[in-house]
Structure 1
Amino acid sequence: MNKLTARKVESLREPGMYGDGNGLYLRIGASGGKSWILRTVVHGKRRDLGLGGASLVSLAEAREKARALRKVARDGGDPDTFRKRRSLTFWEATETVYAQLRPTWRSGKHAETWLQTVEAHAKSRFGDRPIEAVTTADVLSALTPIWNERNRTANRLKQRLATIFDWAKGAGHYPHENPVNGVKKALPIVRRSKQHMASMPWHEVPAYMAQLALRGTVSARTLEFLILTAARSNEARGSRWAEFDFRTGVWTVPAERMKRGIPHRVPLSPQAMAVLEKVKGLDPDLVFPSRMRAKDGQSRPQTDMVFRDLLLRTKRDDITVHGFRSSFRDWASESAHAEREVAEAALAHTNGNEVEQAYHRSDLLDRRRPLMGAWGRFCAGEQGTVVQMVRG
């Protein structure tokens, strides 16, 4: 039981040592000065450690400091060495964690937003504080304002904060329990309905492709190619000529641009090959280069913003570029009657459970060729609105 209270600390005047429990004492000197002392055992010897004056350190803070130093001593460390080490601020810890994780991420956008999220919602609140002084209450103050209205962002922030404090604890900069662990019961449960990327109905795709064909921009060619290959945005935008085997008609997307981190082979339809012919000569490396060059003068891939602008100009801002993958999938099921595993392989999705995946290692390239060929003809309006696929 704690023996001291904030009022008692204020009212005590007689010189002496007043115990609070667990080795924490309030010491009052002959001149009336008050300070905190932690009496503990370090490497088998009793030590008295000063925790600061009572006018600057509250009872609650003294208890928290004492608890942290007792833990250091209990784990075999030296509390004095721990205290004398320069404190790492929360933001310094964040930048250290970011620098370590950055090379492991395939997505540049994820790397950018990872740091931006922590900076926007946590840095201004406790970025300059020593990380060991950040508490669950501080974490809660960063999450609460956005928890209900921006729950996805809040959950990402929560995960990133947990990662930062896990690292700090492991590196010896944070002697307490991860403060993120304590916020769960303090935050309300937010029910979210599953959201899908807005997609174009598959039977509208040929007309839209005809509309894109009238535009002479690189972004229009990129979107045509993306639709014809059922690729993701970054896969198409980042494509390089070295990835294409024109003899076999195969585009191999490297692992670093794939969501699953596994290279993906795409059989190219004549329509997709025709798009590539139109952009040959624009750049020796990038297939769909941005019109804006990097600061060093080198070419760079287009950003995903070009698609947003293109959808606005074509009056289809009611859909998303990623939604064209759904358009393809719906067409493959409803019109082409393609086998599920073939359609899923075309989208670079996994098939079956872990055991099935372990035995089924083929990417079904030969079975995907006729499917992508039929999709190319459909997009070009060469087979009306219904295409029947013959199962092989």
Structure 2
Amino acid sequence: MALLTDTKARHIKPDDKPLPHGGITGLALHPSSIKGHGKWVLRYVSPVTQKRRNAGLGSYPEISIAEAARLAQTMREQLASGDDPLELKKAKTTKVIIPTFEEAARQVHTELLPGWRNQKHGKQWISTLEQHVFPVLGSVFLNEITPANVADVLRPFWMRLPETSSRVKQRIHKVMQWAWAHGHCSANPVDVVDHLLPQQVSASIRTEHQPAMPWKVIPLYVASRVYSTDRYNVTRALLLFTILTASRSGEARAMRWSEVDFKRNIWTIPSSRMKSGIKHRIPLSSQAVEILGQMRGLHEELVFPSPRKQTVLTDMVLTSFLRRTKAISDTPGRDAVAHGFRSSFRDWCSEHRYSHDIAERALAHTIKNKSEAAYHRTDLLDERRSMMQAWADYVFSSVE
């Protein structure tokens, strides 16, 4: 059969029969609705399904006779190898694009961000990956990451910074879990990375407790370094209020007037601001209420606003104050920290024979035993009220 020429192809009319190529079996130019234009079609029997199929190769004259022949020849070679050209094309078109580790990590971060109450944690989550992981694995495709790759990331600080390396490992694991769930890899390499790294010192041994002020010296410290009647000294008032309520400093720093019930003298911290995610009520002692009275008028919303910026005070405010006043702690060589006063309060409770349950409720500690937690349906507010007043009286016992 003679090969199809451009002269003949340019004269194809809408009513004409398909013009065989003549050199490639099954390849023909089918007429279109416009004279001199057509569509290239390769007819073949699929070696996979044994059914006849038509593969479009484009339009003439956009696709020349020579180009159509090359495309058809490639398909014929695929058929000779036992492949169906159309199925190969479909698989290539629908092939999942594997993202790099950095692309996946940023996607995971975006998805997790709405569920985090603390924006600072959200920033730290991605910043640790930017600092420690992206320089090594950022441009690596997820399906190419091996346990050895992850070990290479962690090894430089695995023993030196165990807490940091643990967080980084957890975050890599989270990203690779996402990758596995989305079909971008067949396993999570972080699951076995410990076998490539040396054994870290156990967390129980390396845990360093927050330096706490011994409860017996708190009254003198409060009287000599903290107590003030100056309504504009927000830092002193904040620290004293934090001590009296045994609250976390972050909860007190971001305290709102709307959270205080002055009729019942109760401070209710919403679940969104609690570490446990559970609403917590604190009965306010008369001394705590007096401090709140000193803060009235400084800000419409915040109880302890930053005097200059009128925003929530930073966590360094109390730390700096305790350092300046050389706050004694039970840790040699270190000043007491704000969070440590919760431990001081807990020790005072034990020494004064308050029940474990009431003391733990005052600190808003969650009950880890689920069976036990199911029976605790009250926060023992009334029982805690007398305890918190006794604590406040003790804290103020040296104030004249």
TM-score (norm 1): 0.72
Q: CA deviation at 1:99?
A: 1.1
Q: Does 1:240 align with 2:256?
A: yes
Q: CA deviation at 1:232?
A: 0.7
Query: 1:248 and 1:242, CA in 2 relative to 1: closer, same or farther beyond 3 A?
Result: same
1:180 corresponds in structure 2 to 190
Alignment of 1:97-246 (within 5 A): 97-172=108-183, 174-192=184-202, 193=205, 194-210=207-223, 211-214=225-228, 217-246=233-262
Contact 1:253/1:263 (8 A) holds in 2 = yes
Q: CA deviation at 1:206?
A: 1.1
1:332 corresponds in structure 2 to 349
- Counterpart CA distance in 1 for 2:348 and 2:178 is 47
Letter in 1 for 2:199: I
Which of 306, 328, 332 aligns to 1:290? It is 306
- Counterpart CA distance in 2 for 1:360 and 1:281 is 39
- Counterpart CA distance in 1 for 2:399 and 2:367 is 29
User: Could you say what secondary structure the match of 1:344 adopts?
Assistant: helix
- Show structure 1 runs of 5+ residues with no match: 1-41, 46-77, 294-298, 385-392
1:13 corresponds in structure 2 to none
Give the aligned CA root-mean-square deviation in angstroms: 2.3
Q: Does 1:250 align with 2:262?
A: no
- Counterpart CA distance in 1 for 2:361 and 2:399 is 23
Contact 1:341/1:351 (8 A) holds in 2 = no
TM-score (norm 2): 0.71
- Counterpart CA distance in 1 for 2:48 and 2:308 is 63
**How many residues align structurally?**
303
Give the share of equivalent positions with the same residue, in percent.
42
Alignment of 1:357-368 (within 5 A): 357-368=373-384
Q: Deviations over 1:87-108 (max 9, x none)?
A: 4221121111111111212223
- Counterpart CA distance in 2 for 1:160 and 1:79 is 33
2:66 corresponds in structure 1 to none
Query: 1:351 and 1:135, CA in 2 relative to 1: closer, same or farther beyond 3 A?
Result: closer
Q: CA deviation at 1:205?
A: 1.0
Contact 2:220/2:398 (8 A) holds in 1 = no
1:80 corresponds in structure 2 to 92
Q: CA deviation at 1:382?
A: 5.9
- Counterpart CA distance in 2 for 1:322 and 1:380 is 19
Letter in 2 for 1:221: A
Contact 2:222/2:396 (8 A) holds in 1 = yes
User: Could you say what secondary structure the match of 2:359 adopts?
Assistant: helix
- Counterpart CA distance in 2 for 1:218 and 1:43 is 79
User: Could you say what secondary structure the match of 1:183 adopts?
Assistant: helix
Which has the greater radius of gyration? Answer: 2
Q: CA deviation at 1:292?
A: 4.9
- Counterpart CA distance in 2 for 1:44 and 1:116 is 52
Contact 2:305/2:313 (8 A) holds in 1 = yes
User: Could you say what secondary structure the match of 1:251 adopts?
Assistant: strand
Letter in 2 for 1:236: A
- Counterpart CA distance in 1 for 2:308 and 2:99 is 40
Deviates more, 1:343-352 or 1:305-314: 343-352
Q: Deviations over 1:201-241 (max 9, x none)?
A: 00111122221124753122111111100001211111100
1:50 corresponds in structure 2 to none
1:18 corresponds in structure 2 to none
- Show structure 2 runs of 5+ residues with no match: 1-46, 51-89, 328-333
Contact 1:377/1:383 (8 A) holds in 2 = no
